[in-house]
Chains A and B, each alone.
Chain A
Amino acid sequence: MSIGHALLGLLEAGPRHGYDLKRAFDARFGHDRPLHYGQVYSTMSRLLRNGLVEVDAVEPGDGPERKRYAITDAGVTDVETWLARPEKPEPYLQSTLYTKVVLSLLTGRDATAVLDGQRAEHLRLMRELTRRKVEGDLADQLICDHALFHLEADLRWLELTAARLQQLATAVRP
């Protein structure tokens, strides 16, 4: 997730304070991981340095001054470029899991138990996401579905690996 681009995009609606930006981000995208204030301010100073935002107003307060940020033309172009660029598909292998399976086989342990344990954990999360989806609005449904499809892909790998354990055992054992 590009926090910088998301914050820039949120600024397109109009100038906002860092605190408002954090709230807007958390409400829309922060379901699992709300932003830390530190993240917001470090991201904003980077965007400021790169000329993608500017300080629109400074309000003195009790504590530190409150800066209000506005997006610049360069910032708008940056958001446009980011939106137009497809994300790199990541056909990653769950390398930790693969290592666990191979090590179990190498050491004569129960690799099926490793796969079943992972399967149970994946399904537990899938149940949780499904509950959230059923009780949620359309945004929840779309976000949860994306995660569910990814978890499903992992599960299919777990199933296929379980079916190929014998073959894998022969291949990895000296």
Chain B
Amino acid sequence: MTPAGPVLAATGLHKTYGPTPALADAGLSVQPGEIVAVMGPSGSGKSTLLHCLAGIVRPDAGSVRYGPHELTTMTDARRSALRRTDFGFVFQFGRLVPELTCLENVALPLRLGGLRRRAAEDRALEWLDRLEAADVRGKRPGEISGGQGQRVAVARALVTTPRVVFADEPTGALDSLNGERVMGLLSRAARDTRAAVVLVTHDARVAAYSDREVVVRDGRTRDLAGVA
């Protein structure tokens, strides 16, 4: 697609937990700015695939290339650093730090990256505003609704302008209307910043915000783009 090639490319991934193979020759390639939905039944291996792609889990075999870097042979410290600077994460439940305000939560990745408090919070506020959540900036996660919490989580994932955002069932805990709002804002923000998104979901209406869908069945990936 783009001459620069994929931002993320995984091939031949195998991962076994105990006697159960979670991934058996799975692969996925993502172009810069592309939103790819990963779908499949429960237990099919889609979350394991996301964890391998994001460098959270090291596969037993196979390759995950992020630009020129091979994630599978990188040290844990290097992978952690990369996750902080280049990747963003949105989970089903926001996983915000309960003791911090929403503004502090969004500013956190920037503060961990060494940015001064004032500059970090200025940028965090811009992102809260883009996600239509500026009004909750002074509140703590326990004081806001699920939909607001997910919008704050999306702001936190995007505040570092990552090259890849990993979203694992980002609307799984929300009602339809709030889910739609989160997906609309997430996809628009990702397209504006040219961030690629790997979107794990079992919900076809959420997957419809993507550019392409990959199905995981029994630990294997099947790209539906070439099927129809």
**A complexed with B:** yes
A interface list, Cβ under 8 A from B: 113, 116-117, 119-124, 126-127, 129-130, 134, 148-149, 151-152, 155-156, 159, 163
Judged by a CB distance under 8 angstroms, whether B210 is at the interface is yes
Which candidate, B49-57, B122-130, B201-209, is the interface stretch facing chain A?
A: B201-209
Residues of A within 8 A of B224 (CB): 116, 119-120, 123
Contact status B208-A148, CB under 8 Å: yes
A158: nearest chain-B partner, CB-CB:
B204
Residues 156-179 of B at the A interface (beta carbon under 8 Å): none
A116-B215, A123-B213, A163-B41 known; A130+B228 contact, CB < 8 A: no
Choice from A121, A155, A163 contacting B204 with Cβ under 8 Å: A155
Q: List 16 A-B pairs, Cβ < 8 Å.
A: A116-B215, A119-B215, A120-B227, A120-B228, A123-B207, A123-B208, A123-B213, A126-B205, A126-B207, A134-B187, A134-B188, A148-B208, A152-B204, A155-B204, A156-B204, A163-B41
Judged by a CB distance under 8 angstroms, whether B140 is at the interface is no
Residues of A within 8 A of B210 (CB): 127
Judged by a CB distance under 8 angstroms, whether B222 is at the interface is yes
B interface list, Cβ under 8 A from A: 41, 184, 187-188, 204-205, 207-211, 213, 215, 222, 224-225, 227-228
Complex Cα spacing A121 to B41, Å? 19
Residues of A within 8 A of B207 (CB): 123, 126
A123-B213, A134-B184, A163-B41 known; A152+B205 contact, CB < 8 A: yes
Complex Cα spacing A126 to B188, Å? 17
Complex Cα spacing A134 to B211, Å? 14
CB distance from A163 to the nearest CB of B (A): 7
CB distance from B212 to the nearest CB of A (A): 9
Residues of B within 8 A of A123 (CB): 204, 207-208, 213, 224
Complex Cα spacing A117 to B211, Å? 17
Give me the 4 closest cross-chain CB pairs, A-B, nearest first: A120-B228, A126-B208, A120-B224, A130-B208
Complex Cα spacing A148 to B211, Å? 16
B41: nearest chain-A partner, CB-CB:
A163
CB distance from A34 to the nearest CB of B (A): 25
Choice from A116, A129, A152, A155 contacting B227 with Cβ under 8 Å: A116
CB distance from B192 to the nearest CB of A (A): 13
The listed residue with most A CB atoms (<10 A of its CB), out of B184, B188, B208, is B208
Residues of B within 8 A of A156 (CB): 204
Contact status A120-B213, CB under 8 Å: yes
CB distance from B207 to the nearest CB of A (A): 7
Contact status A151-B204, CB under 8 Å: yes
Residues of A within 8 A of B205 (CB): 126, 130, 148-149, 152
CB distance from A149 to the nearest CB of B (A): 8
Residues of B within 8 A of A121 (CB): 228
Complex Cα spacing A156 to B203, Å? 10
B210: nearest chain-A partner, CB-CB:
A127
Q: Apart from A116-B227, A134-B187, A149-B205, what are 5 other A-B pairs with CB-CB below 8 Å?
A: A126-B204, A127-B209, A127-B210, A134-B184, A163-B41
Complex Cα spacing A41 to B188, Å? 44
Complex Cα spacing A163 to B211, Å? 25
A159-B41, A163-B41 known; A120+B225 contact, CB < 8 A: yes
CB distance from A126 to the nearest CB of B (A): 4
Complex Cα spacing A68 to B10, Å? 66
Contact status B204-A124, CB under 8 Å: no
Residues of A within 8 A of B184 (CB): 134
CB distance from B41 to the nearest CB of A (A): 7
